[in-house]
Amino acid sequence: MARHTHRFQTPPAADPIAAVQNSSLAFRLNFGFLLRQLAMFAVMDFLLFAMVAVGFFLYGENRCAEVMDLVEERGVPTADTIPWMEASDYTIEPLDRPPHGYPYSPASWLPWPREGRRYTQEELDFFVDEGLEPGVYRNWDLSSYYRVELYQGMEPYAITVDMSGAAGAVRVAGIVLLACQGLSLLTSLFGTGRSVKKALRPIQDLAATAARLNATTHMSRRELETLAGALEKIDASHLDSRIDLPATQKELRFLAQAINEMMDRVNQAYGAQMRFVSDASHELRTPIAVIQGYAALLDRWGKSDPEALQESIDAIRQEAASMERLVEQLLFLARGDNDSQPVKRERLDLTALAGEVLREEEMIHPERTFLPHWGEEPVLVYADPGLIKQVLRILMDNGLKYSPEEGKLYLRVTLSGACARITVQDEGMGIPAHDIPHIFERFYRTDRSRDRKTGGTGLGLSIAKWIVDRHGGWFEVVSQPDLGTRITAVLPALSDNGKEAAP
């Protein structure tokens, strides 16, 4: 027979990790951080500008107020003294026109704005006659001056405060600040990009692994191990390897934990699958070998020996029936695994079902002693009659197989609170304590030396557990070697209103 070899495609030439590094996720994270930093700098610059502007107004107001006090005390200086005042930060000059400007101070909300001195009645009459408005008028260009125009007596004059020096210093400081902020943005742009890529490295590795696995088709175990050898740690032959992240990466640690838990389940499922395939192959190998042996016997002597012919026919029939039973059980478990096994629930009396199974067993095994026990009241559950009957047959069949012919078999149906209990107890060999947790595993037997003698497949209890689990129940097992085993299937009972009671 030709040997078929499965092939799988090689990964794409482009490095998937590099592609992930340049993906939109890293770009969005980096760009978002840059925008947040830029907005923070913009708000900070606006606040600084507002503070500097208010400071300039306050400085100009206070300086002009000091000079106004000096003018009230000494009077308006003459034009000859104006050049001498240029050495200071203010100048006072007479005006040949009425004062003009803004009549209100931009800092009028502060407690110290000055609005000039009180005028005499003679000065007020003068202003009325001339049609003038007394008061303090302001003009400013904060980059160069702050100017106040007002009357001293009936003479108009102006006070100008030089702001160019302070404005120049602020301008230099602003340029330095903007340069530092720009440098910080550029540094953060590249630094944050590296940090984001480093933080996303575990996700990038996962994406690269997924990309490589997605490119493969029809891999055998050997091919899977060959492909897995290219991965860092997690592969088919080392499914116990796990993703390890530093403790500081809190967000990714949760992702790694979820991936590791998934790998635990994959590892368990992979191991169970390999054991299942191995055990199924072993179970099928024996009857096939028996059939082949009797076929050879028929070929040699069966044609002329009626006794050998009949023996071979009986053996082949028996092994064929055994294989048919095994295949049916495998198909049942396969349908259960992919959720295609139908479960048709209805109102069911367990006592009536147990009585039916008991009568069947008494007809099949009239030499055995059965001791039933249940009350006259029905024990109601909401279940599939066919599947629950199958559970009863499996438990009864195991009790008969693993107990001596003189041993008694007990069958009980009881109602305990919100639970209905079906108990099958034998007086057989019992189960060692270390084997009890494994008896519901597929193809598991506690005494492999008696496999062929009992005729079991090791799938009965696995099927029973699937059925009971699907009905929301569980099993309770008590066993003592050389004394016997008691197995109880517990199901949710129906309450008086016809609904399943909470356990």
Q: Tell me: the pLDDT tens digits for 155-174?
A: 888 888 888 888 888 899 98
User: Residue 290: is its pLDDT beyond 90?
Assistant: no
User: Residue 68: is its pLDDT beyond 70?
Assistant: yes
User: Is 483 within 8 Å of 430 (Cβ atoms)?
Assistant: yes
The predicted pLDDT at position 302 comes to: 65
Confidence of residue 217 (pLDDT cuts 50, 70, 90): very low
Q: What is the CATH number of the domain that holds 462?
A: 3.30.565.10
The predicted pLDDT at position 105 comes to: 57
d(CA 66, CA 61): 9
Confidence of residue 205 (pLDDT cuts 50, 70, 90): low
The predicted pLDDT at position 468 comes to: 93
d(CA 159, CA 71): 10
d(CA 161, CA 56): 11
d(CA 78, CA 76): 7
Confidence of residue 1 (pLDDT cuts 50, 70, 90): very low
The predicted pLDDT at position 421 comes to: 94
Confidence of residue 60 (pLDDT cuts 50, 70, 90): confident
Reduced to 3 states (helix: H, G, I; strand: E, B; else coil), residue 440 is coil
In a domain, 370, yes or no: yes
The residue among 403, 388, 35, 29 whose CA lies nearest residue 185 is 35
Amino acid (one-letter) located at 447? D
Residues 211 and 62 in one domain: yes
Question: Which of 180, 215, 250 is the last residue in one of the domains?
Answer: 215
Count of domains for the chain: 2
| Choice between 309 and 132, residue whose per-residue pLDDT is larger | 309
Evaluate if pTM is beyond 0.85: no
The predicted pLDDT at position 113 comes to: 44
d(CA 61, CA 161): 9
Question: Which of 215, 239, 258 is the last residue in one of the domains?
Answer: 215
d(CA 487, CA 489): 7
Q: Take residue 80 and report the two structure tokens written for it.
A: 């000859």
The predicted pLDDT at position 348 comes to: 92
The predicted pLDDT at position 228 comes to: 47
The residue among 255, 253, 201, 192 whose CA lies nearest residue 29 is 192
User: Residue 281: is its pLDDT beyond 90?
Assistant: no
Place of tokens 């079906």: 422
Confidence of residue 66 (pLDDT cuts 50, 70, 90): confident
User: Is 34 within 8 Å of 248 (Cβ atoms)?
Assistant: no
Confidence of residue 446 (pLDDT cuts 50, 70, 90): low
d(CA 330, CA 341): 12
In a domain, 243, yes or no: no
Confidence of residue 72 (pLDDT cuts 50, 70, 90): confident
User: Which domain, by its residues, includes 414?
Assistant: 344-503
In a domain, 293, yes or no: no
User: Residue 393: is its pLDDT beyond 80?
Assistant: yes
| Mean model confidence pLDDT for the chain | 75
Confidence of residue 242 (pLDDT cuts 50, 70, 90): low
Mean pLDDT (whole number) for 380-388: 92
In a domain, 313, yes or no: no
In a domain, 289, yes or no: no
Confidence of residue 449 (pLDDT cuts 50, 70, 90): very low
In a domain, 132, yes or no: yes
d(CA 361, CA 355): 10
Q: Tell me: the pLDDT tens digits for 451-472?
A: 445 556 678 888 899 999 999 9
In a domain, 148, yes or no: yes
- CB burial of residue 376 (10 Å; 0-12, 13-18, 19+): exposed
The predicted pLDDT at position 411 comes to: 94
d(CA 406, CA 151): 133
User: Residue 353: is its pLDDT beyond 90?
Assistant: yes
User: Residue 120: is its pLDDT beyond 60?
Assistant: yes
Query: How far is the first Cα of the chain from the last one, in angstroms, to the nearest whole number?
Result: 58
Q: What is the 3-state secondary structure (H, E, C) of 98-134?
A: CCCCECCCCCCCCCCCCCCCCCCHHHHHHHHHHCCCC
User: Residue 267: is its pLDDT beyond 50?
Assistant: yes
Place of tokens 């997690």: 234
In a domain, 230, yes or no: no
Select the highest-mean-pLDDT range: 217-221, 329-333, 455-459, 497-501: 329-333
User: Residue 208: is its pLDDT beyond 90?
Assistant: no
Question: Which of 187, 215, 243 is the last residue in one of the domains?
Answer: 215
